[in-house]
Amino acid sequence: MTRSERLLNLLQLLRRYRRPVSAQVLADELGVSIRTLYRDIASLQAQGAMIEGEPGVGYVMKPGFMLPPMMFSSEELDALVLGMRWVADRCDKTLSAGALSTLAKVAAVLPTELRRELEESSLLVGAPLKRPAHKVSTDLLRAAVRAEQKLNITYVDGAGIHSQRVVWPFALVYFDQARVLMCWCELRADFRNFRSDRISAVEQIEERYPKRRSTLLREWRKANDAASRTILPESDSVGY
């Protein structure tokens, strides 16, 4: 667990308690030492979290702790709600759950009036277009992007031709009807894009690729000028 994840878990834990809770209880639930817990509390307080208490007494957190005073304009709330609803409706179960959880966390710390506006938002997402079935999990593809991990994929292009590729996945692009995995392809020694529904098999290679994904993304952008930067899967592109 990263430090940022641990701090977020601590915040979520403090939300559950309306009365002061001892540092030992918090440390036990998080699986950390008392010393680490004290450091995390101090770090959150320095970042603006309204946590009251002290060692030996206990801690309690007041509402409205992040991004004080956690105010949004109507346009910002509309954008947040619409974006999260789109993800919840259009993406896989993992991202869908993440979107709904995000909305719940934001609603929990909004002032009453803004929380009501968020919950009563009339911006809705229309029924999704039917998308092709996937043979591989997009969770796996996202994990490979995050881990900067090589993949050995079996790809079937639009003409039904199979090919085997070792790729360096650095981004996953979401369209209404398709998901496109952006990669550096070792076979072509160049950037290539693959529709995830046409990936028939994936083998995880226990090896990180030699560049950072942010570097690959910058290099891809340089290789494609802004006027013609079109993200298309390999079988839909000219000359592949």
pLDDT tens digit string along 212-229? 999 999 999 998 864 455
- Could you tell me if 193 and 237 are in contact, meaning their C-beta atoms sit under 8 angstroms apart? yes
* Beta bridge partner(s), residue 169: 183
Question: Which is nearest to 231 in space by CA: 166, 183, 159, 189?
Answer: 183
| Measured CA distances, 185 to 88, 138, 147, 199, 217 (Å) | 31, 19, 17, 14, 14
pLDDT at 235 over 60: no
Torsion 112-118-120-121 (CA) sign:
positive
Token pair for residue 183?
């990669």
pLDDT tens digit string along 10-25? 888 888 888 899 999 9
At 5, which helix (H) or strand (E)? helix 3-15
CATH topology of domain 3-61: Arc Repressor Mutant, subunit A (1.10.10)
Extents of the domains making up the chain: 3-61, 74-119, 138-236
Q: pLDDT band at residue 240, thresholds of 50, 70 and 90? A: very low
Q: In the chain, what is the straight-line distance between the N-terminal and C-terminal CA atoms, in Å? A: 41
